[in-house]
A and B are shown apart, each in its own frame.
Chain A
Amino acid sequence: MQEDTLLQLNNISVVYSDVIQVLKGVSLAVTEKHIACLLGSNGAGKTTTLKAISGLLKTENGKVTDGDIVYEKALIQNSPPEAITRRGIIQVLEGRQPFKYLTIEENLRVGTATRWGKPYGKDLEMIYDYFPPLRKRRKTLAGYCSGGELQMLVMGRALMAHPKLLLLDEPSLGLAPLVVKEIFDIIERINREQGTTIVLVEQNANMALRIAHYGYIMENGRIVMEGEAADLKKNPDIKEFYLGMGAGGDAKSYRDVKSYKRRKRWL
């Protein structure tokens, strides 16, 4: 294990309800203060990997049955989420999940749960600086806010907890391209300015590889490829299957769509 590795997954398997095996030996390492992205199609096990780290598997009757998760030199697999969040790992759930009947500001205050009783005024200001639209709507019920605002809200809420490791599950889901760009710019800024280590799960490989330092590709519960983000972007298979480009580098035409039958080289 390298000195600056914050989180390491060693060959972990995850089983739901004692029978459904979703992860089949996933190993990955996340370097401190870097952004690692986890790409893959639906059902590849990306979200499960995040939940294994954050301890939220438990609520869905899932369990890490094999391998171990090392965070700051401590084993954390199968710990309850209350304990893991207090170590500084906060997951931002897929599909935003705001507290609909709480105002924006109250939503943000829930983020202080891991350090209850400490002052939080400065943090609120910081969040409003990162996400200016939230300041205007601080007294509005979250249920009445737009998708982009909600994505900002749930990320801000997580930042209120002063995470060392932020797990972002598909922040681009269902957002307009311009908003996606804005959100990713902010993610990059948070990483740069706060030194927060980030694990980013994405479908939007293009965006994710733009800001990430390192990337992993998942398929069927396994990591099938990994590398520096810059290298991944150049890889012809990634280009074809995830970035939607033909082998030649131009946008792929619908006529060639049959080539989905071609076996991916790594399988």
Chain B
Amino acid sequence: MDFFIQLLVNGLSIGFLYGLAAMGFVMIFKSSSVLNFAHGELMALGAFVFLVLIGWAELPVYLAFPLTLVFCFVLGFVVERLFLRPLIGEPLIYVIMLTVGLASMFKGAMLLIWGGNLYTFPDFLPEGLAIQWGSVNIPPVYAVSIVIGLIFLMLFGLFFKYSSQGIYMRSVADNQPAALSLGVHVRKVFALSWAIAALVAGMSGIVLGIINGINVHDLSSIGLKVFPVVILGGLDSIGGAVIGGIIIGLLETFTGGYLSTSLRDVVPYIVLVFILMVKPYGLFGLVEIERV
């Protein structure tokens, strides 16, 4: 039973991280219908910037963490401005191919600077955050990732549901010509969604880096795991991304714990196939509203 609870908690916290990463992915897809193949690289970049700030510049966490997030946010803006803006109005496939190119560019740059080595963050999380419950031991980083996941999920939920800026973003996703006709600044919306996506990607990269260590290849391949997560949750649902993330996270840890660690990367995909057979739009995807 203790083993089960241990796995459950681990799965939940990994799941929240996947969910967070997927949230950024969904954000870009929702506003501009672009599948961002560079998402894993953005995650890795966030982790490395944090590593530089905390490990080499030796800044305290309360400075390094927000600074990294600001860096990612700005990076998102810059990427949109430099690479994606010129392609507005071109066929989507060009834009998607561009993100594939961005991915290898980022990856190359990171390999050039940091190489393919495995780094670890210095221990900065206070031991007091660890939860000891019977023989179940939850390390601080897992507790932190659950808390961060919950906070950001709520923030984004409120942002999209109630704030004007969030509603403008949804309107662009819904019907771009109509949004333009009402004066919504569509290019600003794209830029903002890239910035937010880079921010959450960076954040989940940091926490995953704490758990698994930081390595260019590992972190960017986690970016690929975003795909089953978002397809499971429904490509255009933020809440779905998080729940999809939790499901995939749980499946992974339980398969790894009870069956075999070599199966843990496969089982999520098998489950995905079955879920899509029953719910082709994903669990929470928008069902096309058709007026007949």
* A interface with B by C-beta (< 8 Å): 54, 56, 59, 61, 81-82, 85-86, 90-93, 97-102, 106-107, 109-114, 116-117, 141, 143-144, 154, 157-158, 161
In the assembled complex, B182 has its CB within 8 A of some CB on chain A = yes
Cα A80 to Cα B85 in complex, Å, equals 15
B89 adjacent to A59 (CB under 8 Å): yes
CB pair A114 B182 closer than 8 Å: yes
Residue of B nearest to A99 (CB): B174
Residue from the set B89, B177, B182, B291 with the largest chain A CB neighbour count within 10 Å: B182
CB-based contact B180/A99 at 8 Å:
no
What are the nearest 7 A-B pairs in CB distance?
A85-B183, A143-B289, A114-B183, A99-B174, A97-B178, A113-B184, A110-B171
Structural contact, A85 and B174, CB atoms closer than 8 A:
no
Q: Indicate if the CB atoms of B185 and A100 lie closer than 8 Å.
A: no
B170 at the interface (CB under 8 A from A): yes
**Proximity string of chain B (165-188) to chain A, C-beta cutoff 8 Å, 1 when within and 0 when not:** 101101100110111111111100
CB contact between A101 and one of B89, B184, B289, B291 (< 8 Å): that residue = B289
Interface of A (DSSP majority class): helix
User: Contacts of B291 on A, CB cut-off 8 Å?
Assistant: 143
> What B residues does A114 contact at CB under 8 A?
182-183
The reply to whether B177 and A101 contact each other, CB–CB distance below 8 Å, is: no
Report the nearest B residue to A141, measured CB to CB.
B289
Report if B61 contacts A (CB, 8 A): no
Report the Cα distance A92→B186, complex, angstroms: 17
CB pair B181–A99 under 8 Å, yes or no, is: no
Residue from the set A101, A102, A107 with the largest chain B CB neighbour count within 10 Å: A101
Report the bound CA distance from A59 to B168 in whole Å: 18
Q: Is the CB of A116 within 8 A of B165?
A: yes
| A residues in contact with B170, CB < 8 Å | 99, 101-102, 106
Q: Is B164 among interface residues, defined by CB-CB distance under 8 A?
A: yes
Distance to closest chain B CB from A164 (angstroms): 13
* B105 contacts A by Cβ under 8 Å: no
CB B292 to nearest CB in A, in angstroms, measures: 12
With contacts A99-B174, A99-B179 known, what are 12 further pairs, Cβ within 8 A?
A82-B186, A93-B177, A93-B181, A97-B181, A100-B174, A102-B170, A110-B168, A110-B184, A111-B182, A116-B165, A116-B168, A157-B182
Knowing A100-B175, A144-B289 touch, does A109 contact B183 (C-beta < 8 A)?
Answer: no
With most chain A CB atoms within 10 A of its CB, the pick from B89, B184, B286 is B184
Interface hits, B74-97 → A, CB 8 Å: 89
Chain A nearest Cβ from B181, distance in angstroms: 5
* A16: min CB distance to chain B, Å: 14
A144–B290 alpha-carbon span in the complex (Å): 9
Q: Please tell me if the beta carbons of A158 and B182 are within 8 angstroms of each other in the complex.
A: yes
Residue in contact with B286 in the complex, picked from A101, A110, A158, A161, CB distance below 8 Å: A101
Assess whether B174 is in contact with A91, with CB atoms less than 8 Å apart.
no
Contact for A56 among B168, B175, B180, B184, CB less than 8 A = B180
CB within 8 Å for A102 and B182 given contacts A109-B164, A117-B164, A143-B289: no
Q: How far apart are A21's CB and chain B's nearest CB, in angstroms? A: 21
Nearest CB in chain B to that of A154: its residue: B178
User: Which residues does chain A contribute within 8 Å of B89, judged by CB atoms?
Assistant: 59, 61
28 A–B contacts from the bound complex (CB under 8 Å): A56-B180, A56-B181, A59-B177, A81-B181, A82-B185, A90-B181, A90-B182, A97-B181, A98-B175, A99-B170, A99-B179, A100-B174, A100-B289, A101-B170, A101-B286, A106-B170, A110-B179, A110-B182, A113-B164, A113-B168, A113-B179, A113-B184, A113-B185, A116-B164, A143-B291, A144-B289, A154-B178, A161-B182
> Does the CB pair B183–A99 fall under 8 Å?
no
Shortest distance between the CB of B152 and any CB in chain A (Å): 22
In the docked arrangement, what's the CA distance between A117 and B178, Å?
A: 20
Cα separation A56 to B183 with both chains bound (whole Å): 10
